[in-house]
Chains A and B, each alone.
Chain A
Amino acid sequence: MKLLTRRAWALTAAGLSATLVLTACGNDAEGAGGEGGDGDVTITMLPKNLGNPYFDTSTAGAEEAAEEVGASLQEVGPQEASPDAQVQYINTAAQQGASALVVSANDPTAICDALNEARDAGTQVVTFDSDTEADCRDLFVNQATAEGIAKVQIDLIADQIGDAGEIAILSASANATNQNAWIEMMEAELEANHPDIELVDVVYGDDDDQTSFDKTAALLQSHPDLKGIISPTTVGIAAAARYLSESDKKGKVALTGLGTPNQMREYVENGTVEAFALWNPEDLGYLAAMAANALAAGEIEGEPGDTFEAGRLGEYTVEDDGSVLLGDPFVFNADNIADFDF
């Protein structure tokens, strides 16, 4: 009797959940179809984490693009840039039937399953800034080639330390996709063209002000002969600049990397930092949203050779690896930093 009751309950429960799942699927399909038909594109923007001025700027660019093409755009994201924190936001976007998801991946593989489920539900996936494995997204909007970014930072540091001496790298988290790719390229570039520069350490500040700050202190401490630091992350370079500007190594240890003008302004003006590089994240967000819109509207498939019009940035072509390249990195210094506000 007891067994029977249990089984009956189990069957009922199974039946109910199946109904729920089926209903949910039906709703999703209808939602996505309806929106596609109306040309009413909804884009969900999912940066690595919120509270990061770099992604604030890229989202501003994406909003500008969305306004121009008449799409609606929504930004969601986790507090911390940890590998699997983005999964829940991807699931939600898929359930809401967003026509496109623009995401900067915290981890190349950890969010792959979630992204593919979203794509199965009809959401177009565009990665920007930090890519996933190529089979988890429809398009990657590349801010610059890894070679270009690595080269500009090595060129800057070589120029600032006289092409000889010890340097170290202050990176983001140890599993950050693009930072790791850049570091590899930098090592190759150093070996090939700058034999007198020695990379003595790579430390990780986890894109956290406090950690990056303390790691900078530790770097200067453990390498007394250090001539320069490269920090290929906006949070890292600002924290390192803050530490350097108040230490007795100010002006003796060069600092460069990727930073935003607003965060670095004070340190460029007080002489702690000579020059640093970046692309324009606003343009990057703008291009990513334009690409997402083109995909959602069916103008492109994301196949190599597809071309689309990206508003004020002009025409772009999808390259062989399913990516779109924004352009060359930009170098900021005391002469031009006043022209920028992001």
Chain B
Amino acid sequence: MSETSTRPASSPPEHAHEEIRLVAPSRQSPAVRAFNTVVRSREMSILLVLVLLVAAATAKNPSFLFSGNGWRDLLLTPSILLLLAAGQAVVIITRNVDLSVGSVLAVTAYLTGRLFIDFPGIPIVVVALAGLAVGGVLGLVNGLLVSLGRVPALVITLGTMYIYRGLVLTWAGSDRINASDLPRGFLRLGTQSVLGIPVLFVVAVVVVAAVGYYLHAHRGGRELYAIGSDPDAAVLYGLPVRRRVLAAFVLSGALAGLAGVVHAARYGTVSSGAGTGIELEAVAAVVIGGVAIFGGSGTVWGAAIGAMLLVTIDRALPILGIPDFWQRAVVGVLIISAIVLDRVLSARRTRKLIEAREQS
């Protein structure tokens, strides 16, 4: 604390501000700290890209934002990926990955259709809870295999991805759920809005906010970051690593299960191929959203913005006149730049921290 007095309190030189921010952030006023955190965050830069993209598309074609359908689709289309990305972010933060979410989605999407066909008049809430529960159980299987079997999650969830998909194939066969099989009220839920905001989007945002807050502010959430930063250290420190990792997989499975119900409401048709490949989109959203693929850093909110960006790119590029075939390439470029940016930023931060420490 003695250094404080050696420096003039009024008008500190520019580099001192920077130094204080890096070395002793608690000496800044809470307002300044909060402002700095928000403005300097990775989430902010992705949000900026998203806003620019929407602005560009709207400038080219005002109906992208200013028509009833445009506004609705902007929020509604990413809803499914938002749910998956929230779960995926939690798993990736613990230095694992869940590739089975697309197959879990297919299981519960088909389950949703079957429940409505086999039990006419079943309340929508019960179906949603069933989706969550079945997804949670499938996630529990992943979690048990990963945390007890000590096998890399990549391999385990790659395996369960095929197993769960096989489950749907056996169950559904070549049968498919058509829109006419589902109750009108459920299908209407797929497009219904409250105060101009689609219901499904509200559901997704509530989930993202809750999970994000837990990770940000709760002990259990912080422990997930600690586990992802250094699993061995977390074990030595006495953190309940297995239990936390297990819980992360259950959460990811349950959210994928909910996403399956949302999928059925949104698209009205469910075949055994539903959600094929969406697991990679979820991983991409999380990485673009600033969650390090090796765990330990990033936020669920970032992953959610990544998901919005990924889906909105798909919708905006055709309007900007970029042909269909190039859209995937653009997504690839985004992923790679996100990772490169990650490396550059972390190298820079390390250097600055060392410099600041040496100067102070």
Q: Which residues of A contact B (CB under 8 A)?
A: 49-53, 55-56, 79-80, 174, 203-204, 208-210, 213-214, 217-222, 224, 238-239, 242, 246-249, 262-263, 265-266
Give the bracket for the number of chain B residues in contact with chain A: 35 or more
Lowest 8 A-B CB distances belong to which pairs? A51-B271, A209-B269, A266-B180, A51-B272, A222-B319, A246-B191, A50-B174, A51-B174
> What are 27 inter-chain pairs, A to B, with CB distance below 8 A?
A50-B169, A50-B173, A51-B174, A51-B176, A51-B271, A52-B174, A79-B165, A80-B273, A174-B325, A208-B273, A209-B267, A209-B269, A210-B274, A214-B77, A217-B69, A217-B73, A218-B314, A218-B315, A221-B64, A221-B70, A221-B315, A242-B179, A248-B67, A249-B69, A262-B178, A265-B180, A266-B179
The CA of A76 and the CA of B174, in the complex, are separated in Å by: 11
Residues of the B chain whose Cβ atoms lie less than 8 Å from the Cβ of A174: 324-325
The CA of A80 and the CA of B187, in the complex, are separated in Å by: 26
Interface string of B223-265 (1 = CB under 8 A from A): 0000000000000000000000000000000000000000100
The CA of A265 and the CA of B73, in the complex, are separated in Å by: 25
Q: Which residues of B contact A (CB under 8 A)?
A: 61, 63-64, 67-70, 73, 77, 165, 169, 172-176, 178-180, 187, 190-191, 263, 267-276, 314-315, 318-319, 324-325
Residues of the B chain whose Cβ atoms lie less than 8 Å from the Cβ of A262: 178, 180
Q: Considering only CB atoms, which chain A residue lies closest to B270 in the complex? A: A209
The CA of A208 and the CA of B176, in the complex, are separated in Å by: 12
Q: Is the CB of A224 within 8 A of B61?
A: yes
Q: Is the CB of A80 within 8 A of B276?
A: yes
Q: Is the CB of B69 within 8 A of A204?
A: no
Residues of the A chain whose Cβ atoms lie less than 8 Å from the Cβ of B190: 246
The CA of A52 and the CA of B269, in the complex, are separated in Å by: 12
Q: Is the CB of A221 within 8 A of B73?
A: yes
Residues of the B chain whose Cβ atoms lie less than 8 Å from the Cβ of A248: 67-69
Contact among A51, A217, A222 with B77 in the assembled complex (CB-CB below 8 Å): A217
The CA of A246 and the CA of B175, in the complex, are separated in Å by: 25
The CA of A217 and the CA of B68, in the complex, are separated in Å by: 12
The CA of A265 and the CA of B180, in the complex, are separated in Å by: 8
Residues of the B chain whose Cβ atoms lie less than 8 Å from the Cβ of A263: 178
The CA of A237 and the CA of B179, in the complex, are separated in Å by: 13
Residues of the A chain whose Cβ atoms lie less than 8 Å from the Cβ of B271: 51-52, 209
